[in-house]
Structure 1
Amino acid sequence: MTDETAVFDLLSDETRVETVATLAAAGDGLRFSDLRRRVGARDSGRFNYHLGRLRGRLVEKRGDRYVLTERGEHVAAAVERIERASA
């Protein structure tokens, strides 16, 4: 699987797309509980699974906060452009 294909696979779930978008809007990162609340995920375990899928490629943990990686920032910007174009 190519790296680009892996990123598209990561974005195949709405929770993961919303997590990336929420972190992009937050700027300086969010704690797990704040991130989960803003994403609107009710099930903590399910949200943790999706966040785990993003970690290492698009999201990283710095201290007690989750932030986008450089690649995550690029992906978030691309998703935003696509959403604006389709609106």
Structure 2
Amino acid sequence: MKIQVAHQPVDVNSIVYIAGDGTYSTIYTEQRKIVNARCVLFYQKQLPPYFIRIHRKYLVNSQKIKTLLEDSVIMQNGTELPISRRKKNHIK
């Protein structure tokens, strides 16, 4: 499955996580990062259910989580992302 991001097709399985900043978001894939003018909620509605919201700023591909810590996750690319207090019970 692919989605259109900034006029470029992106393979959903290559997405590691999406970071939001207001109405903009950055999609981090295994090869590159893409900044675009869509909010995280837009992608949350478009992507398969294995993409989970761990924080208001982060939507992660649960298949790319390397380590689950008490307050954060470490992704396969080595990035550590925080888990919000409200989302902790939904992730474990």
Q: Same fold (TM over 0.5)?
A: no
TM-score (norm 2): 0.35
TM-score (norm 1): 0.36
More helix by share: 1
More strand by share: 2
